[in-house]
Amino acid sequence: MTGPNELILTREQLTALTGVCRPTAMVRWLEARGWMYEPAARRGDIPKVSREYFNDRMSGRPTNTTRRAAPRLDFFSQR
């Protein structure tokens, strides 16, 4: 079983990936290259990048993650 810290990249790993230390610069790097991430919960924290997503991107495997722009509400109108 993996622990919660093993599921996301550490600050050092994200710094090695992006080449920058500041969280805001990391976000700019990730967005410029189309990487998916979870925004930091608090100011000064790093964005969260899934280790599985990182491994998929770096190995060239297709990523199975998609994000919706908003929650789907169409199920309310279905009967």
How many structural domains compose the chain? 1
Within a domain: 11: yes
- What is the span of the domain harbouring residue 47? 4-63
Within a domain: 71: no
Within a domain: 40: yes
Q: What is the pLDDT of residues 4-48, one digit of tens each?
A: 568 999 999 999 999 999 999 999 999 999 999 999 999 999 999
Within a domain: 9: yes
pLDDT of amino acid 76? 73
Within a domain: 28: yes
Residue 8 dihedral angles phi and psi, to the nearest 5°: -125, 160
Angle at 12 between CA 9 and CA 14, to 5 degrees: 50
pTM of the model: 0.72
Within a domain: 45: yes
Q: How confident is the model at residue 1 (pLDDT cuts 50, 70, 90)?
A: very low
Q: What is the pLDDT of residues 67-79, one digit of tens each?
A: 555 666 776 776 6
Within a domain: 77: no
Within a domain: 22: yes
Q: How confident is the model at residue 62 (pLDDT cuts 50, 70, 90)?
A: confident
